[in-house]
Homo-oligomer: A and B are copies of this chain.
């Protein structure tokens, strides 16, 4: 083990650990920079540098004069941060939930590999249909390892945005995702669910989501009808 990290990196690691442990709840404030600096026996500037990187990663929010807060996933923010659906004018739209089912199943080899799990590890599986501007446009198959969210059984209710729910109900904060995008033809099931002819081009998004400890916490396959909308991305 090499422990020759700069101090700000050790402060950062310590903060991540304490955030992941739930020591500070989402939306609440952290101790002040001066207090943390005293506690960790470093200067305020070093704490600041560590926090800068966590703010950049979206794990913390700072408000001048008020304090530093654990970033809270809200449906509005999470939707636009991770699922940037826009209409023809570039205006963001938010899909609404139409229907869903939930069950448990073992991971197939591909999913297990994507999520760095053992073969046939237990998964929660959720299938959802969502609508954009009133028409069904989004088919999602979501898989979450049982080990990541043991409490996610057969849910009573299903929220529209999942990431805020993961955070508030299961203590899992999604900070980033890796998405692989392709164009595919709608198969018979998808065509029925979306009320389009089989073969209609759909945008397929295969995503792995990671939490603040860089653990893979969700696998999601989305099929999106992009006749009137687009998936917006900023690169660079």
Contacts and interface: CB of A to CB of B under 8 A. Distances in A.
Interface in A182-213: 182-185, 199-204, 206, 210
Given A201-B201, A201-B202, A234 B181 contact: no
A75 interface: no
Contact of A236 (B58, B180, B182, B200): B58
Given A183-B201, A183-B203, A201-B185, A177 B86 contact: no
Copies per assembly: 2
Given A181-B181, A183-B184, A226-B183, A235 B176 contact: yes
Chain A interface main SS type: strand
A229 B57 CA distance: 29
A233 interface: yes
Contacts of A86: 180
A82 interface: yes
A19 to B, nearest CB: 16
Nearest to A202: B183
A230 interface: yes
Nearest to A225: B183
A231 interface: yes
A81 interface: yes
Nearest to A174: B236
Given A182-B203, A185-B201, A201-B185, A176 B226 contact: no
Interface residues of A, number: 37
A234 B178 contact: yes
A233 B180 CA distance: 6
A235 to B, nearest CB: 5
A179 interface: yes
A110 to B, nearest CB: 10
Given A181-B226, A182-B231, A206-B230, 14 more contacts: A82-B235, A176-B234, A176-B235, A177-B234, A177-B235, A178-B233, A178-B234, A179-B234, A180-B232, A181-B203, A181-B230, A181-B231, A183-B201, A201-B202
